A and B are shown apart, each in its own frame.
Chain A
Amino acid sequence: MESFTAIILAIFLPFAAAIFIPLLEKFLKHRIGWFAAGIALLSFALIGIVAPEIIHGHIIQHSIEWMPSIGAEFSIYADGLAMMIGFIASGIGVIIMSYSNGYMSHKEDLPRYYQYMLLFMGSMIGMVFAGNTLQLFIFWELTSITSFMLIGYWRDKPASIYGATKSLLLTAGGGLFMLAGFILLHTITGTYDIATILQNPAIIENIKAHPFFLITLILILIGAAAKSAQGPFYIWLPNAMEAPTPVSAFLHSATMVKAGIYLVARVHPIFSGTEAWFILVSGIGIFTMLLAGFLAFRQTDIKAILAYSTISQLAYMMTMYGYTSYHEPGLGVAAATFHLLNHATFKACLFLVAGIVAHEAATRDIRKLGGLRKDMPITFIIASIAALAMAGVPPLNGFLSKEMFYETSVEMGHIIGGPFTFLIPAAAVLGGVFTFAYSIKLIDGIFLGEKHHGHLPEHVHEPPYTMLVPAAFLAGLVILFGLVPSIPVHNIIEPTTAGIVLEEVHLHVKLWHGFTPALFMTVITFIAGLTIYTRYDSIAAWQDKFNARYPWISVNYYYDRIVDGAKGSAKGFANFTQPGSIKLYIYAILFLMVILFAIPAFMMATQVFPANLNFDIPPYEALILTLMVIASVAAATLHRYLPAVIALSAVGYMVSLVFIYLKAPDLALTQVLVETLATIIFLLVIARVPQTFKEKIPKTTLIRDIGISFTVAATVLVLLLNATKGIAPPFESLSHYFLENSVKLAGGHNVVNVILVDFRGYDTLGEISVLCLAALGVYNLIKSRGEGE
């Protein structure tokens, strides 16, 4: 199969499968999850087909025409980076969707769940292989939307709704900043194509020298930080834990939150090697790493601990991608990439364990859990492997990438010099210390110690194999990558790093590489981590106390105030613009009409009343007009509904007579029909209300309404008099064009009809759509009236 076809299939197969899931569910019932897992496996295999080519250093590029008018093509750019995250998205996808078969109750709305899961997976794969920035943006926002739907999967839980809304506002909102950054990039380079930019050193030099460089970088980084829960945007991830646990494992630890990191890696060659890149990217990274690692202490829900740990671990990667210098722009890239892969394995595994614990012990509260090692020994072993990998204990994979993190931190410190020689490695070690402490807390809090019999079921069982095997598989990967690092390094990390730094890369990662500063730092990390762990609970208590005393020192506080404030002002605005009184609406419409008609009329008319008016009115016309005036006055003054309605419709019929007299049969026909229908509706309505007006109209209202009527009438009169006299310039009448071309272009002799269905067919299509919506609206209003009020 052609490489391009394989990638296209890997992206769109999940989308296509998602469409058929509701149908297939009729036959497969609860086994639909295995179908979804199979699709994920297919996507994984399809990426596997192209993998050898990419590993050998070839970049697959192909594009097809998409939006030629703005110079955007639908293109695929498959390098090592795209391949790695594509593998993670589909591979973890297989594991998660298999696991979901055990986790999700058969009573849940399974088709919806797997549909969203597959849609997400397709969007994620589509995003990483995107060859131009607009395409990347579209798939990027699709992952935000599917994430929103999955967090809000349990639609009745207020916490789910809150978490879903928050994640959408922040991640999709951040995506808009990113789009602005891409547009600026287009302004600088004149292209949306990623390959064109990456493969032309001249273009990259041009970007770095451009005055928009900094603002472009900041806009793109806002998108990345919001998506990967970095800096002040971290607040959405803990609330996203309201999603079903497999979703958290998939989207909010292994894949979607990596999108921001992916973006940073993708634009790395464009912006790196500058001070701004180091200060912004590593700056956000170090700040978030320390803050989130520290805040993990006071969490009591094991998923919340994992959420803060994810934020902190993503910050590791952010920090490392930020490490850069003029001579070696990609200093931390290999380390960051390796950690990205490792984190996907051990963190997804930990989430699966959290799901198992919640499933079997019916609680996720770490204060209630404990002593489960005897009840679920296999889960205990799996969890320990994953948590120790996160803590950075040899010989697991987390140890290797953490060593690389320390190494690069020392190098970066040396490059900057001054106090930073010490400060940057110190920050890295402090991050490692926090990680170590909460990793130990997870094992200790859930599995070690005494079992709290009051809170836990008497016998906690091992989960079914559908849940155990996926977790065990990930734990196996954790050990494998740790013991034989050459497998992932040669096949995944080297091509990925090559894709980011744009040159060939050879890495040597070993478990033991002598007494280096990094090893020394690791030893410090373990000792300090254990020391802090003894004070774990008092630190958590201090955090709680601090939070209670200063509630305003928190990003969430401001987020809630802004969102609540926006809701309040939206309500106020709606009440102002939609007061619900028909009379007020009519006043508003008439007021605007007078303003909009009067301004051009007075601006363009040479005089208010044209001088050469023709008062030679033929008798027919005079008769019709007289009758019209009489009927109008009757309609306004009659005190009973029925005669008033008849008088009103008489006015309408007179108008149609005028149309006939003026040789406009189409208009006349329409007028007669509409008038007839309107009268029928009136008659239907007044059959149900009292036959006479009950209340007397107050004098002030009467005077006001008469005043309004005269103003409107005067405006229309002036306008009409001037219009018929042809106040043409600066506008030319369109009617000549229509008259000339009606037969020529549209083959119709009825110009009015040709205008409606041909020249302005698009308008008509819009109008009939509105008509349909109106009919549905009326229907809903009538049918829902009994329920509300």
Chain B
Amino acid sequence: MTTLITKTITKICIPLVSLFSISLLLAGHNNPGGGFIGGVMFASVISLTYVVFGLNYTKSFFNPSWDKLFGAGLLIASLTAFGAILYGNNFFRSSIKFVDIPLYGEIELASATLFDIGVYFVVIGTLLHIFKNVGEDK
């Protein structure tokens, strides 16, 4: 699987797919996409790297602790849910705000997007945590 062709293609893919996954995440509220899809996409490009370049080589320059990532994701998601209570609303009540940014125009800030970011982290974290550990297993 580690031919020159796959290596070259993977190198091109990594930045493109990563950016695409983030755009999927942020676009999710109004267009196709969302935290889950974005997360799976990001996880697949990293696992592609693991497969093509080998786990040990990849780990030598890129080795985040995925367990912390999914922990953080779960924290963000639950804090979003609890955040509504701070504003006197019921648990999980979502809210939307439209903010005008100069030169760019109006953007929509939704608490649901924050929740989706939590989902995104959880999906990436859990999938890659499992992959890495299964891969390391002798």
Contact = CB atoms under 8 A, between A and B. Distances in A.
Given A684-B51, A746-B96, A769-B74, A775 B130 contact: yes
B130 A778 contact: yes
A779 B130 contact: yes
A748 interface: yes
Interface in B23-76: 24, 28-37, 40-41, 43-44, 47-48, 51, 67, 70-71, 73-74
B126 A677 contact: no
A771 B48 contact: no
B74 A772 contact: yes
B29 A761 contact: no
B70 to A, nearest CB: 5
Of listed A749, A768, A783, residue having the most chain B CB within 10 A: A768
Contacts of B37: 666, 669-670, 673
Interface in A743-784: 746-750, 752-754, 756-758, 761-762, 764-765, 768-769, 771-772, 774-776, 778-779, 782-783
Contact of B112 (A677, A757, A768): A757
Interface of B: 24, 28-37, 40-41, 43-44, 47-48, 51, 67, 70-71, 73-74, 77-78, 81, 92, 94, 96, 108, 110, 112-113, 115-116, 118-119, 122-123, 125-127, 129-131, 133-135, 137
A753 B94 contact: no
A778 B81 CA distance: 27
B126 A673 contact: no
Given A775-B67, A775-B130, A758 B94 contact: yes
21 contacts: A666-B34, A669-B24, A673-B37, A673-B44, A677-B43, A677-B47, A680-B47, A684-B51, A750-B28, A750-B34, A757-B116, A758-B115, A761-B81, A761-B92, A762-B81, A771-B126, A772-B126, A774-B126, A775-B70, A775-B125, A779-B133
A676 interface: yes
Secondary structure call for the A interface: helix
Given A761-B115, A768-B73, A750 B40 contact: no
Nearest to A771: B126
Interface residues of A, number: 39
A674 interface: yes
Nearest to B31: A750
B20 to A, nearest CB: 11
Contacts of A669: 24, 32-33, 37
A785 B137 CA distance: 10
From DSSP, what is the main secondary structure of chain B's interface residues?
helix
Contacts of A769: 74
A677 B130 CA distance: 12
A768 B36 CA distance: 10
Contacts of A779: 67, 129-130, 133
Contacts of B118: 768
A754 B29 CA distance: 7
Contacts of A676: 44
Q: Which 4 A-B pairs have the closest CB atoms?
A: A747-B96, A775-B126, A665-B32, A749-B30
A783 B127 CA distance: 17
A762 B92 contact: yes
B44 A753 contact: no
Contacts of B115: 757-758, 761, 764
Contacts of B29: 747-750, 753-754
B120 to A, nearest CB: 10
A756 B36 CA distance: 9
A676 B51 CA distance: 13
A764 B94 CA distance: 14
Contacts of B77: 764-765, 768
B35 A680 contact: no
Contacts of A764: 77, 115, 119
B125 to A, nearest CB: 7
A757 B122 contact: no
A670 B31 contact: no
A757 B48 contact: no
Nearest to B66: A775
B41 A673 contact: yes
Most chain B beta-carbon neighbours within 10 Å: one of A756, A774, A783? A756
A677 B126 CA distance: 13
Given A680-B44, A778-B133, 12 more contacts: A666-B33, A746-B94, A748-B29, A756-B34, A756-B36, A758-B94, A761-B115, A775-B125, A775-B126, A778-B129, A779-B130, A782-B133
B67 A746 contact: no
A771 B66 CA distance: 13
A680 to B, nearest CB: 6
A768 B40 contact: no
A677 B45 CA distance: 10
Nearest to A743: B30
Contacts of B119: 756-757, 764, 768
Contacts of A776: 67
A753 B30 CA distance: 8
Nearest to B136: A782
A757 B44 CA distance: 22
Nearest to B108: A747
A514 B46 CA distance: 93
